[in-house]
Amino acid sequence: MGQYTPGVIMSLEAGADLSANQYCFVMAAGTGVAGNRKVVAATANASTIGVLNNAPAAGREAQVIVTGSAKLKVAGEIAVGAKIGSDANGKGVAVTGAGNYISAMALTYGAADNDIIEALVCHAELGGTA
C-alpha cells in the first residue's frame, strides 16, 4: 500500500455496532435530532461522511477520515483512478453514470471482495456528463 496520509479525522459517536465496519464508508445516522453527531454503516449509493478508521461498538467513539487518504475495504475489482461509491455494506465499489455518489478515488488496485486499498476521500455526485 502507498503512503497513508489521512487529512481530517472526526470523532463521532457510533450509532450502531460498527465493529465489523473498519475501513468502510459511514453516513450520518438519520434521527433528525439537533446536535446529533452519530454515524452508521453506509448503504448502497449513500451520501457518505467518510471512511471509518477504527471498529467501535455502539455508543463508542468512531474515528472517521473525512479528507485525505484512507484504507478502504472494497467489494470487488477497483482500478487505480476509479471513482468509488458505497455498496449495501459500506464497502467501496466502482461507480459510473449520473446519480451516483462518489465518496473516494482509488489510489491503489483492489482485485477481490474484502481487499483493502488506499483511496482519496472525496465527496461528489456524478452528473449527466461524467
Domain spans of the chain, in order of start: 9-65, 68-125
Q: Which residue has the cell 476521500?
A: 121
Cβ-based neighbours of 40, under 8 Å, separated by 6 or more: 14, 15, 16, 18, 26, 27, 28, 29
pTM to 2 decimals?
Answer: 0.90
Predicted pLDDT at 99? 85
Predicted pLDDT at 45? 94
Q: What is the mean pLDDT of each run of 10 residues along the chain (130 residues)?
A: 74 96 93 72 95 97 95 95 96 91 94 94 69
Predicted pLDDT at 33? 56
Predicted pLDDT at 34? 58
Predicted pLDDT at 125? 75
